[in-house]
Amino acid sequence: MEVFFLFLILKVLLLFWVTPLRVRHRLQKNGFGGPSPRFPLGNIEEMKKKQEGVTPLEFADSIISHDIHSNVFPYFARWQKAHGKVFVYWLGTEPFLYVADPEFLKRMSTGVLGKSWGKPNVFKHDRQPMFGKGLVMVEGDEWVRHRHVITPAFSPANLKVMADLMMEPATKMLDKWTLMVNSGNPEIDFEREITTTAGEIIARTSFGLSNQNGREVFEKLRDMQITLFNSNRYVGVPFSKFMSPKQTLKAKKLGEEIDELLLSIISARKESILSGSPPQRDLLGLLLEGSLSDGRKGKSLTTKELVDECKTFFFGGHETTALALTWTLLLLALHPDWQEQLREEIQEVVGDKTLDYPMLSALRKMGWVMNEALRLYSPAPNAQRQAREDIRVDDLVIPNGTNMWIDVVAMHHDPALWGEDVNEFRPERFKDDINGGCKHKMGFLPFGFGGRMCVGRNLTTMEYKVVLTLILTRFSFSLSPAYRHSPSILLSLRPRHGLPLIIHPL
Ligand code: HEM
């Protein structure tokens, strides 16, 4: 027994102390500097500390600043000053290579296949209940197979049909607003409203919400998300997964219930297709159609894999889209001239007709506004990778196993890349350039980069344009005096106190 405990202690020390020390030594030898870590928390204490020297974002005369980097990532902003745009920091005993230099990113990713990158193992435990083994999580040849099966479902031809699935929940939300205004309450919390509507839209476009099971999955998915957010986690710290056992258990239980409901939806769908009924034109319907018509191994997904993809679309797709719209409404509330410009464009493109898919690509100015909102307030504030082999960047080596944290907020707010007007809302910078005039083509990364770039970006653009067109046609809006500008990171970049808006029917 004693020998066993000794062995266990040695193993733990080796795993959590000796190995990280060795990795640190190797990284230092390769020239990567960074703040000194302390065992066992690494640099977490410093990251959790209240920060000094943070730029204020609100001024007395209601002027709001978009210069948010040192506010949302104060520790990275400070470490950047001392260690430059590429350095190593530690989450517990896990080393992270911080990258805010697009040229380094380009050299690091050139020649490394999408399938050779992993996603940090330390985050997997937390994300397992949400994504299972869906596309966000899988690696290597498994990722190639999933991506290969899923990509065609997001083709423009397939997305076309989904515009209709989006209209109804969005219209329902706007009808509710009209009722609120008529009953004397013109103030709405847009973030809350749009997150619910976007959840309903993604559930409809992913697996259908037409029956009770679909609605139940939706309710439970939202419940799980709240549960996971509420747990205060110490990612990377040895044994941290045991720190919030109640939430972990609740998330696990909800996960099992969701899986069961989705399994029953998928089985019913399969039976209905096999009995000759036309498949539903949502993402699940398209994936099932592909799987059943091309059932060879390697070209289809199993039922369990389909369950995980439905969850992945829900968690990967609704909040990010809701936040893109939320930040856009903040920016448009601050710039009523742009609300007007977009309304004129909608009048020219849509006029008195019903909005349809081909019209969306003609809404060009709306596309610039979307890009500018994603630049200033990127809902996904970072991209992550983990090296699954030694990666050479010129004469440096990033050792196998090193995690990477690409600071998208830093790059999107870097005056060296965008010029002195970097923190101004200027959608026209995207008029003739899909990179918005950024000096480096890897400096604008709202949807990530390389082979693992967001698979849902066309769907999200469509939803953004449908919902924004409907809002702008029926309402104008201004910022409520109750709004407090405090962008903060809770997985995504969100307004800490919501987005209260005063709405005016047109
Ligand atoms: C404004 C909205 C959205 C933003 C900002 C966004 C952002 C991102 C980012 C940054 C990544 C990681 C890319 C990387 O690591 O290089 C990603 C991946 C992914 N996104 Fe999105 N996303 C959005 C909407 C959606 C939607 C609507 C869906 C699905 C319905 C979706 C599904 C996915 C999936 C499945 C992946 C994993 C791709 C892979 O690893 O191969 N996303 N997204």
Q: What is the CATH number of the domain that holds 43?
A: 1.10.630.10
Identify the residue whose C-alpha is closest to ligand 1 atom 16: 448
Provide the domain limits for residue 214: 2-505
The CB density around residue 210, as the number of other CB atoms within 10 Å, is: 11
Q: Say what the pLDDT of residue 123 is.
A: 81
Task: Name the domain count of the chain.
Answer: 1
Token pair 């993604």 in the structure block, residue: 202
- At 221-268, the pLDDT tens digits run 888 877 776 655 555 555 556 567 777 788 888 888 989 988 988 888
pLDDT at 293: 65
Burial class (CB in 10 A: 0-12, 13-18, 19+), 122: buried
State residue 48's pLDDT score. Answer: 80
Closest Cα partner for 154 from 344, 287, 315?
A: 287
For ligand 1, atom 31, which residue shows the shortest CA distance? 456
Predicted confidence at residue 39, as pLDDT, reads 80
**Residue-level pLDDT at 221:** 84
Residues having CB closer than 6 A to ligand 1 are 135-136, 147, 202, 312-313, 316-317, 320-321, 324, 379-380, 383, 446-449, 452-456, 459-460
pLDDT of residue 439: 97
CA–centroid distance, residue 453 to ligand 1 (Å): 7
Give residue 226's pLDDT.
75
Residue 173 amino acid letter: M
Binding region: 454
Q: Residues in the chain with pLDDT < 50? A: none
Protein residue with least CA distance to atom 20, ligand 1: 454
How confident is the model at residue 181, as a pLDDT? 95
Q: Which ligand 1 atom sits nearest the alpha carbon of residue 459?
A: 27
Largest Cα–Cα distance in the chain?
81
Ligand 1, atom 12: closest residue by C-alpha: 448
Structure confidence at residue 292 (pLDDT): 67
Kindly report, residue by residue over 51-95, the tens digit of the pLDDT: 665 666 776 566 799 999 999 999 999 999 999 999 999 988 888
| Pairwise CA distance, residues 37 & 93, whole Å | 9
Rounded CA-CA distance 143/133 in Å is 10
3-state secondary structure of 408: helix
Ligand 1 centroid–CA 407 distance in Å is: 16
pTM: 0.92
Q: Amino acid identity of 51? A: Q
Measured distance CA(91)–CA(248) in Å, rounded:
20
Secondary structure element (H or E) that encloses residue 163, with its range: helix 162-182
Residue 51: its pLDDT value, please?
65
